[in-house]
Chain A
Amino acid sequence: MGTQAVVRWWAQAVYDLRRLRDEPLLGAAIAAIFALLLLFILYPLARVLTVSLFPDGTLTLRLYREFLGSWFIRQAFVNSVLMGVLTAVGGTLVGFLFAFTLTRTDIPGKSLLTLAAILPIISPPFVSALAIILLFGNNGLITRQLLGFQEFAIYGMRGLLLAQIFTFFPVAYLTLRGVLESLGGTLEDAAMNLGATRWKAFRRVTLPLCLPGIASALLILFIESLADFGNPLILGGSGFPVLSVQVYLQVTGMYDLPGGAALAVVLLIPSVTTFLVQRYWISRKRYVTVTGKPTRAVIRAVSQRMRWVLFIACAAVALFVLLFYATILVGAFSRAWGADHRFTLRNFGYVFGVGAQAIQDTLIIAVTSSPLAGLLGMAIAFLVIRRRFPGRQAMEFISILNFAVPGTVIGIGYILAFNQRPLLLTGTAIILVANFLFRYIPVGIQSGMAGLRQIDPAIEEAATNLGASTPVTFRRITLPLLVPAFFSGLVFSFVRAMTAISAAIFLVSADWNLMTVQILSQTEAGRLGAAAAFSVLLILIVLLAIGIIRLILGQLFEYRYQAAFG
């Protein structure tokens, strides 16, 4: 940046600030949002970094040197990255298969396939792991009961990869479905009209246009896999260490907070790098935005034979997903998995007895944090897209940064940041609410931005022009028009608040516990029936909540997850 550019930037900043004089409320809101973002997003990360660099009060790289020298940690790093790459490739492949088949063919059973591609999103991220243990574990239904294996090595890389692909392919599916829908079918029609065969139309038109979306999906899945905590904790075992779990074990197993912080930084580096590549490089190469109205898809793009190939492939994946959920359901009603499959309600009795407090806590925290996340998301989206003020881009960047930060890193950061006066929040509900609120605003912001791009800016200008200040414009005009985006952000952050574990596991306490943490500890304790019952209940609550919100909204808007990943 030359001096001239600095001078111009400064002049603009001064001018923008001068204009805020007429809008004291707007200025106050911007300042308040900045303060919150600094406190709940940047400060915890800064604490992680400083604690890892100043373990004894003086600057040292000792911890990093120790970890670099440790074979085990190096292995964990390699494993994490390897698992990330494999999950990204596998999940994107499956996701593309689903997206392409569902948008470009007229196969039967589409709604069931869609369900299979959506279910993993609304369940806790380690449900796949639980189901895999029930099916393929030491006491697994398939491995032990059907095939009679005594020892089957599902723990480790293979099992984890399977679990992660099933957990994360829906994310790729939603991203790519958006891309394929907005591409519409006209381009393929045009290609075939000009003499291209179906295959050539796919190779030369459809696929190249999807490439940025595919790249985006790969990177997002890589980030998700790196950050995944529940699946590797259950399935990785000591034979296949990964970083996200090591961070947790370092803190809770060895009571070594500085060590955990240093590991967290090591985990943070590939995640944030990937995020920056995805955001500032790949997403600029998109040919289309994912906001347009989906045009009617063509069904001529695929030959009759190919149609059946695609159908069988999708059906196989979907069957697997549904099998997982059926397993969980059966497991929840079985006396002792692998030994006694007779029907019982005992597991649910246990859940409602011992777990009642966790259920209540989870609900309170999710119901508190998600509307706040939705509102804050809309407000930030509005400010960033429609208003000029110094630090606008910084606000956008900080507020979506948490999308890239693995939950375990955030968890450690919150413990480090909020464990002493005047910011003593550990052990309270506030720390959990704040955690969910600021972790999931990126979702609200993304859907808010997508919504705003569909609203003619002149509508808000008209309000301003007629004398409405910025806060009044936002409340009276923007927010009512963003109702669909608000609720899709709200639903998403509610689902995530109900199902998240990685950060929350550091923050729960005797007073405030969460269902996901309960499921995990039941699984670790070998009480698979109780874990399954908890999972079933959790999924039911999420489905019920979504159903209620949809019912309230009626035909107001079409509920879509897309915006969440845009």
Chain B
Amino acid sequence: MATINLSETSRTPGWYATFITRLRRNVPFTVGLGILWLAAVVVVAIFADQIRPYDITAMDLSSRLSRPGVLKHLLGTDELGRDVLSRLLQSVRVSLIIAFGATILSAVFGTALGFAAAQFRGAVEHLVLVLADFQAALPFLIMSLAVLAFFGSSMVLLVCLMGFYGWERYARIARGLAISASSQGYAASVVQLGATPARVYFHHILPNVASMLIVSMTLTFPEIILMESGLSFLGLGVQPPETSLGNMVGFGREYLTRAPWIMLAPSVVIMLTTLSISIVGDWLRDKLDPTLS
């Protein structure tokens, strides 16, 4: 009996405390804050419909441009009496959905092109390089401006367009890594065993280059958030009545003198989010990529 008691008492100070101390040792304080903020943002994005106090288009004309800090409208209201907090929560959701969709699109597209260049070489490789040169020659914002203005902005087009952002980075990484991987033993041996190129790339090479691709996703993600909010700020991204972080800043700009809170609330969210992603991303990069010091 005594032995059982002993083992139980030695375990009870147990998992929670050790988890915390381990966490403290492995995760720096700022990184922890960043992770917390990002987790909160994701939760908000998922449950935006449930937690926002008002509908985003619900107008309360009796309390237009009311100051923040009042219980009824915690972050104040805009020029039509719409609740800034509710719109902010919805904006977080919209901006995050666009950024997620676009990051995944551009990772898939870029990686596929990079692998294609590595597999076929020759003309395909030259074509990919020319496309990358083209992307480098025309700033993304300018290209998007032209496309969005002439095709009209829609959510689908916006995500697809943003999905081209940064593809050349993935393509370059995927191509370089695939070329070096195919000269290594493991790829050659599965080819000898009769694997199709698709199997070699997706089952053997992709898992080996995944960490580098994840690292570049942490770079692309905040840039896409900034790009989307920049476009929305210029009035060419997300269109009203839908709202996004950049869109809120853009419209809040009209009321900069009388109601700065309309524009400050989304600005702070953009800043904290991109800051958190780059802090957490830097940390992740050091953890995942042993070649960087």
Partners in one complex: no
Chain B residues with CB under 8 Å of chain A are none
Chain A residues with CB under 8 Å of chain B are none
